[in-house]
Amino acid sequence: MLRYLARRAANALVLALAATCLGYVLASVALDPLVRFRGNNPPVPDEQIRHALAITGTDPNTPLASRLWSWLSGLAHGSLGTSVDNRPVTSEIAERAGTSLQLLVLGTVLGVGLGVLVGVVGAVRQHRWFDRVTTQGSFVVLATPTFVVAVLLMVGATRLNEAAGRQVIRFTGQYTPGHEGWAAVTDRASHLVLPTLALVIGLVAAFSRYQRAAMLDVLGTDLVRGARAMGHTQRSALVRHGVRVAMVPMSTLAVYTAGMVLAGATITELAFSWHGMGEYLLLAAQRGDVNAAAGTVACTAVLVLVLGMVADVLYAWLDPRVRL
Amino acid sequence: MTTTNDVRPLLASVIRPSGGVWSRVLTSRQAWVGATMLLTLALWALVGPALHPWDATYVDLAAFGQGPSTRHWFGTNDIGQDVYAQVLVGLRKSLLVGLVAAPVATGLAAVVGAVAGLAGGWVDRALMAAVDLMLVIPAFYLLVLCSPVLARAGWPALALAIAALMWMVMARVVRGQTRSLRERGFVRAACFSGAPLWWVAVRHVWPNLASLLVADVTVGVGTAVLMEATMSYFGIGVRVPDVSLGTLLAAGGPAAATRPWLFFFPALALVVAVCAVSLVGDAVRDAIDAGGARG
């Protein structure tokens, strides 16, 4: 097990490094660090521009390779450089990652868990009403962009608040300023409801479909019947020999799935105007902030790989054929 | 995925639908419903504006931000533009982005997958490493990163960028299928008789994976349309003067609670279009799955 994990981790490390370099190069090529100095009247003095570019290390006249090298050596010392507003990117990302992870973890656990459950029940009761409703429901949800789901939820919440005559659910930003103690906790929880719901709806739709298909494959084999013959109850046969085996095929796409979940969370977060990683990247792209963009991409790559590895280990643990 | 040894090349079986994946697709009600919906929508987007009295950019000074009426079927926006006309124009652009992006993505997947599978060795390892690398950074992040460049280049560049970010998983599938095909007699015979790699790919690999690739194109259209809408909603996709369903949703989003017609009509058009595409895609995929020894 440890050797397998070590090999996976080494592989992930190489990929993370490559993705980080790719992110920096792309950011340097696609973003224009001079964009915020343009169109000023009176024009910003050259001296000042050069000074600002020197601080962020994004002077286009320096060769890209040496810019990348100095950024990477900064990274080796735990620094992602300085953003255009003279703040260390590392601390800004640490702040925003907390916000993003809150939604990501809550949404993923609920979404994947419920999705698997819905898929399994749908497969076991194939063609019954529950299966029909969830299959068609997830079909429509998968055809609906996440931000539309978010807007629909916000409209619903507005109606609810109007009907109740007070703010039952709050949904702009992560919290209302000015609350303290217990009130701050409930306020944050209230702000979490809709974004979590938006993310969970999409994830349940996606995962229930995978899980239903995989579960139907397993039900077609003699695994469950064999377990029944061995004296398991129907429920225990389904869970231990059906669901467990049905979850295995999803492992091949663990990294891809992790990326998908992360993108979903980012879009949800943006739709509810949270100050998370997605907003940071969007701002960076608009302001020509190379360091902020590269830092965000690097952190995302690491997060995707970590999520992928967690999923990998979970699946390996599920699959009785894998001996690590 | 199953091996698709009973699949005939696309044209042959459409002309002579006797068994195989294509006859299952052609007899599937789901595929017909989806295709009919899709064609209707496409036709509507194409000729609809010509049959409609209002132009998408025309400003009706007598109707600012009015709800649906007989004069303006889907209402008007804040500056008096007809929402019905805008939805038609937006739908056209959205479908166009999808129809450009999906075949390009599938083509890329077919080429990379076949080359990796047939060549093997370091070519295979290098290509699969590239696939792994591209899967590590979510597509949405890469699109945001490239958005300043895309902003200058217009919607065809956006479509190609979307295509460049959705071929990876399919490339892996094609590679796997190619490797199993390579062990079969007719492909080995072709290789031994000195056929060049591209010939084996064109003559043997792609025809055998035709249904898989068609399914991927169909599903890809839906994915690309959704990606475009999301990009445009956050202001980094299609830009003025171009109009897509995404830009309409971005404009209508903040007003969704007070003037719902600005948001819900474009949203409905988008969801129906993607549903239609997925109906066809799922039907093709089901037909492929039913062909092999599944489960």
Contact between B224 and B278 under an 8 Å Cβ cutoff? The reply is no
Q: What is the pLDDT of residues A108-139, one digit of tens each?
A: 889 888 988 898 888 888 888 998 899 889 88
pLDDT value of position B272 = 92
Q: Phi, psi at residue B59, to the nearest 5°?
A: -100, 115
Q: Residue B232 half-sphere exposure, CB side, CA atoms within 13 Å?
A: 34
Residue A109: the pLDDT is 87
Rounded to the nearest angstrom, the minimum Cα separation between B48 and chain A is: 23
Phi/psi at A169 (5° precision) = -115, 130
- Please report residues of A whose CB lies closer than 8 A to that of B147: 30, 285
pLDDT at A86: 78
Predicted ipTM of the assembly: 0.85
- Whether the CB of B56 is below 8 Å from some CB of chain A: the reply is no
> How many residues are given for chain B?
295
Find the residue in A nearest to B290 (Cα): A217
Cα B57 to Cα B81, B85, B259, distances in angstroms: 6, 8, 19
pLDDT tens sequence across B1-26: 333 444 444 444 444 444 577 777 77
The answer for B 234-253 residues in CB contact with A (under 8 A) is: 234, 236, 249, 253
- Res B60: pLDDT: 66
Q: Provide the pLDDT for residue B109.
A: 93
The span from the CA of B285 to the CA of B1, in Å, is: 10
- Distance from the Cα of A208 to chain B's closest Cα (Å) equals 15
CA B264 to chain A, closest CA, distance in angstroms equals 9
How far, in Å, CA of A241 to CA of A235, rounded? Answer: 10
B149 touches chain A (CB under 8 A): yes
Domains and CATH numbers, chain B: 23-60+70-294 (1.10.3720.10)
| Residues within 8 A of B (CB atoms), A 273-312 only | 278, 281-282, 285-286, 288, 293, 296-297, 300-301, 304-305
Chain A residues with CB under 8 Å of B294 CB are 217, 220
Query: Which of B136, B139, B253 lies nearest to residue A301, judging by beta carbons?
Result: B136
Ordered alpha helix ranges (H), chain A: 2-30, 46-56, 64-76, 89-124, 129-142, 146-164, 181-220, 223-229, 234-237, 244-246, 254-271, 277-287, 290-318
Lowest mean pLDDT among A148-152, A204-208, B95-99, B189-193: B189-193
The pLDDT of residue A21 is above 80: yes
Quick check: B175 and B128 in contact, CB under 8 A?
Answer: yes
- pLDDT tens readout for residues A209-265: 888 888 888 887 788 888 888 888 888 888 877 887 777 766 666 777 788 888 888
pLDDT of residue B61: 64
